Amino acid sequence: MSDSFDLGEPPQPAKPDAYRVLARKYRPQTFAQLIGQDAMVQTLGNAIKRDRLAHAFLMTGVRGVGKTSTARLIAKALNCIGPDEQGGPTIDPCGVCEPCRAIAEGRHIDVIEMDAASHTGVDDVREIIEASRYAAVSARFKIYIVDEVHMLSKNAFNALLKTLEEPPAHVKFLFATTEVNKVPITVLSRCQRFDLRRISAEMLAAHFAHVCEAEGLTAEPEALALIARAAEGSARDGLSILDQAIAHADLDGGGVSAEAVRQMLGLSDRGAVRDLLGLMLRGEAADALALLRRQYDYGVDPQSVLRALLETVHGITLVKVGTPPDAAQPLEEREARGEWAAALGFPMLHRLWQLLLKGHDEVARAALPIEAAEMALLRVVHASTLPDPGELARQLTQSPGQGAGAVSAPAPAPVAAPVAVAAPPPPPAEPQMPESFEALVERLDADGELLLVARLRQGARLVRYQPPEIVFSGSRPMAADTLTDLAAVLKTMTKSAWRITLDDVPGQPTLNEAQQVRDEAIKAATWDSPMVRAAREAFPETELVEWPGKRSMM
């Protein structure tokens, strides 16, 4: 009797390989594939060639720029033995030797990766310290990769300091963090730091085009440019968006299109943004609000509309200062920005930026976002018809008969002056008495009597001024030496003896109080003037301030 039985089951089909997202599938395996970090690659390459390797490296940067990938590449570069198993550390690891393949697959026994977010305590660091004393099992270096190192506790950092400063020769530490400001300075000073840069939109778009070609897909350049801008410098974020765009696209209808990406990301159509900005600048409020509502009905977020308007105004300003045009922008966008740059001045562009930026912040916090967006656009519409603030200030400082449209009378023709015969100089004139108490104080101020002037302005209430006699109110106490000092100074100044007394009557307001009353009157008149009223309606947070060095309000 046979020990085996044939149950007649058909052979099972092989299980298909699980799909790997693009962000993992196209993770860089060599330094040559690491985009946008040429300075760091050159530094590491030179350090390896000259055998000047640090014992600890810290990679910092925004999400998705390659911090953890760089740490793994450094681990491969330090432990690579080459196809013939005779090689040494190299900036170009072979990728075929056992250490390279084991590190790439995350199974090398001497390359330990730890997530500091889930291993924050001092006990976790103590395990690293204890294990670091033992030599590597099969690799040249024992390497510890600690991701998000800023999540370690204070005690954990302190426990690591001594080992981090003087580690065994066979140990290397590779740290990665997105928040380097949370890493203690004592740790930073023991590491060789690399700040990974944001990847430019141009580099990301070229990288995404290469990925699409490798995947056998087609994508419009504008679609890739939109994805690159939405990634904000992160290769991983961009590949995740590209993965989503590929799933969203109709591959039978031509691949990934810009329109499909806009719909997927909820971006406002660039043509609609240009139309909206044009309506706002022409002051067509009703049409601008209707276009905004139409975008809102299409599912576009009001905040994204204001963000697109901000990007457009920023682009127009760059064109106006002479910045080369962005090649990723469509031709219609570049032409429209060029026309606006020629028509709008810098004050108008700065005003548009400030109003839109304020509206963007209001929409982000508003309970009614679309209503807040409409109010923000209305402010821009009304502000576009107002004169420049500098022109407003010039008009406010002009007298009523000298406005912008006033015509000045021609200057009289010069009259020939008779030739004068030299005469002996006149005798020196007698010192003139100041016409008023205020004129007297100003003269004292001009002569440098600052302390006396301060006393008179703040505390002297005048009852009568009839040179050479002054009567002050005694209702407000005044220092006795003030009257004595004033009489002495006036005798020297006017060559006459003055009589200065006090009378028990209320007297006039002090000079400071009178000046304050005049300033408030000027401020009230200016605040209620037609020009300023129009400015206040356009700029609700307008304030009237005093010019430095001026006593009157402007």
Residue 412, pLDDT above cutoff 60: no
Q: Which CATH number belongs to the domain containing residue 215 in this structure?
A: 1.10.8.60
User: Cα 545 from chain centroid?
Assistant: 27
The per-residue pLDDT for range 73-91, each reduced to its tens digit, is 999 999 998 888 888 888 8
CA distance 254 to 83: 43
Query: pLDDT-derived band of residue 511, with 50, 70 and 90 as boundaries?
Result: confident
CB 416 within 8 A of CB 428: no
Answer yes or no: is pLDDT of 431 > 50: yes
The CATH number linked to 166 is 3.40.50.300
- Which residues contact residue 543 at a Cβ distance below 8 angstroms, ignoring those fewer than 6 apart? none
pLDDT of 496 strictly over 70: yes
- Report whether 470 contacts 516 (CB < 8 A): no
**Total structural domains in the chain?**
4
The reply to whether 297 falls in a domain is yes
pLDDT at 415: 42
Q: How far apart are the C-alpha atoms of 235 and 489, rounded to whole Å?
A: 80
**pTM for this model (two decimals):** 0.58
**Same-domain check for residues 27 and 157:** yes
Q: How far is CA 346 from the centre of its chain?
A: 19
Please provide the average confidence, as pLDDT, over all residues in the chain: 81
242 and 164, same domain (yes or no):
no
Q: Is the peptide bond before 302 cis (omega within 30 degrees of 0)?
A: no
Write out the residue range of the structural domain in which residue 130 sits.
22-195
Average the pLDDT over 180-194 and give the result: 91
Distance CA 464, CA 502 (A): 10
Q: Work out the pLDDT band at 549, boundaries 50, 70, 90.
A: very low
pLDDT range class, residue 172, cuts 50, 70, 90: very high
3-class DSSP assignment, residue 209: helix
Indicate whether 138 belongs to any domain: yes
Nearest to 275 by CA among 248, 295, 246, 303: 295
Furthest-apart CA pair in the chain: how many Å? Answer: 155
Whether the CA torsion 22, 28, 29, 35 is positive or negative: it is: positive
Q: Which two tokens stand for residue 181?
A: 């400001």
Residues 321, 245 share a domain: no
352-406 pLDDT, tens digit each? 999 999 999 999 998 899 999 999 999 988 876 666 666 666 666 664 544 444 4
Domain C-terminal end among 146, 174, 195: 195
Give yes or no: residues 34 and 116 share one domain. Answer: yes
Report pLDDT for 215. Answer: 87
Name 462's bridge partners: 472
Please indicate, yes or no, whether residues 77 and 179 belong to a single structural domain of this protein. Answer: yes
Tell me whether residue 397 is in a domain: no
For 415, residues 6+ apart whose C-beta sits below 8 A from its C-beta are none
pLDDT mean over 40-52: 87
The Cα 91–Cα 483 span in angstroms is: 89
In a shared domain, residues 365 and 467 = no
Q: What would the mean pLDDT of 506-525 be, rounded to a whole number?
A: 84
| Same domain membership, residue 291 and residue 218 | no
- Does residue 67 belong to any structural domain of this protein? yes
Tell me, yes or no, whether 4 lies in a domain: no
